[in-house]
Amino acid sequence: MKKNGTDSLITLSPAPQGWRAQSDADSCTGASVAELCEQLPKGLQAVLLLSSSAVITERLTLPQAPKEDLLAMAQMQLEKLLPYSAEDFVFDLEELENTPEGISVLAVTVPLSELRSCGEPLRAAGYGPVAVGIFAVQLARKLVEKGVSIALWMEAGKPFVLLAAEGKLLWLEGVSTEDSLPNSGEISRVLLGAELSGALPGPVERIACCSEAWCDSMREALPGIPLEATVLEPTTIISGNWLPASWAQEAAAITRGAQVTERLQWAATAYLALVAAGFCWLAFEKSQLGKLDRQIADLQPIVDLVNARQLRWRAVEPAIDPAHYLVEVLHQAAKTVNGADIRITEFQLNPKEFVFSGEASNVAEAIEYVARLKKESELASYKVESPNPNILPNDRAQFRVTGKSDNTAAKK
């Protein structure tokens, strides 16, 4: 059997010969549950439908009470009727009808020995089971018509007969036969036993057989009743609970472990995807940087040419810019005097800067002169600086002004 990506739940049930495992996508058969486990892929969870031969049914009448109280009362009665202690069997109740004496129920009991023979291979292989049902009970759930219905089918080479009404199991019995074909006498005996036990509330209204070969016996035993030869398959929606509490806890732990494992796998996948995205982003950024480096390398000759031209321009700028001529700078220095008592005593000029010294009648006049010189627009290409004036013996103020070309100042 192949595991489908969306199918993680599989149903194991008795087949006409041996056992069958079935999911929505696939199915396989085997002589035993252990043999089926060898064919199943890992990671599945199993629902187990027990064979009808493992079931013991007891019809009980109990006082009206909630389901929990009914189970407790039924357990006490079953311990008296069955050769088992409470720890040796599991059971569930089929609530049939209300009577003046109380509520009529069918106790469907499974000895733990029978349950272990089928369930332990699943537990050992890690398939659960997550739920346990009864094949006959699930088959009765499909017979939902009003009135009594009879179903006749084969499990592991043995015929079984059940009575059901409105989806509830009323009676279950295996048919003893030598040639695997039930005769009319056996069918009549089963119906008589059901009627004497009170499990036959009315006349039989329909019959379903899994084989056309069995129809003659049914017609002979129950003439005039509508009969259909069809494939009898139980419903997969489990009703009832024959899963031991310890098994349920173990199955829940396995389920939680599987969920944690799945979450960790998703987290690891997301982390790996994030790491892969990071590497892709780094690769993209590296390619962009490589592209940028190639563009820079292609533009470098042009940049070098522009820088060389700027250097040549700066070298010849003092010679061709009128603002750097000696006469022009000296004119601006003299114009800024503006009638004040200021004399320029020394003046020097080179392509990078000009320096001149002078005297003023007092310190304030010297400071004002330097301030006017710094505001002169024609000297905007120079950075004009002047230290504090010195006081001469004759109380005049001596000052010194330095003007550095902006290109020279920026380069430094």
Structure confidence at residue 407 (pLDDT)? 60
* Confidence band, pLDDT 50/70/90 cuts, at residue 134: very high
* Closest residue by Cα to residue 254 from 124, 127, 166, 372: 127
The structure tokens 């700066």 sit at 314
Above pLDDT 90, what percent of the chain?
A: 31
Q: How far apart are CA 251 and CA 119, in angstroms?
A: 12
Structure confidence at residue 178 (pLDDT)? 60
Could you give the count of Cα atoms lying within 13 Å of 27 in the half-sphere of its Cβ? 11
* Confidence band, pLDDT 50/70/90 cuts, at residue 105: very high
Burial of 216 (0-12, 13-18, 19+ CB in 10 A): middle
List of E strands, 178-298: 204-209, 227-229
Flag the least confident range among 213-222, 284-293, 356-365, 384-393: 213-222
Structure confidence at residue 410 (pLDDT)? 42
Given a cut of 60, is residue 2 above it in pLDDT? Answer: no
Structure confidence at residue 319 (pLDDT)? 65
CB 130 within 8 A of CB 47: yes
pTM: 0.60
Q: What is the secondary structure of 188-223 as a DSSP string?
A: HHHHHHHHHTT---S-EEEEEES-GGGHHHHHHHST
Q: Residue 320 is encoded by which pair of tokens?
A: 């061709």
Average confidence (pLDDT) over 282-287: 91
Given a cut of 70, is residue 277 above it in pLDDT? Answer: yes
* Confidence band, pLDDT 50/70/90 cuts, at residue 409: very low
Q: pLDDT (tens digit, 9 = 90+) per residue, 141-189?
A: 988 888 899 999 888 888 899 999 988 999 999 887 666 667 778 888 8
The helix/strand/coil state of 84 is coil
Given a cut of 80, is residue 321 above it in pLDDT? Answer: no
Structure confidence at residue 164 (pLDDT)? 93
* Confidence band, pLDDT 50/70/90 cuts, at residue 3: low
Given a cut of 50, is residue 5 above it in pLDDT? Answer: no
Structure confidence at residue 6 (pLDDT)? 41
Structure confidence at residue 51 (pLDDT)? 92
Mean pLDDT score of the chain, rounded to an integer?
85
Q: How far apart are CA 182 and CA 187, in angstroms?
A: 7
Flag the least confident range among 117-126, 211-220, 269-278: 211-220
Q: How far apart are CA 149 and CA 177, in angstroms?
A: 22
Q: pLDDT (tens digit, 9 = 90+) per residue, 203-258?
A: 889 988 887 778 887 888 888 888 888 888 888 788 888 988 888 777 677 667 77
The helix/strand/coil state of 133 is strand
Structure confidence at residue 412 (pLDDT)? 41
Which range, 101-110, 236-245, 399-408, is most confident? Answer: 101-110
Query: Between 341 and 316, whose confidence is greater?
Result: 341
Query: Between 355 and 320, whose confidence is greater?
Result: 355
Q: Residue 252 is encoded by which pair of tokens?
A: 């829940």
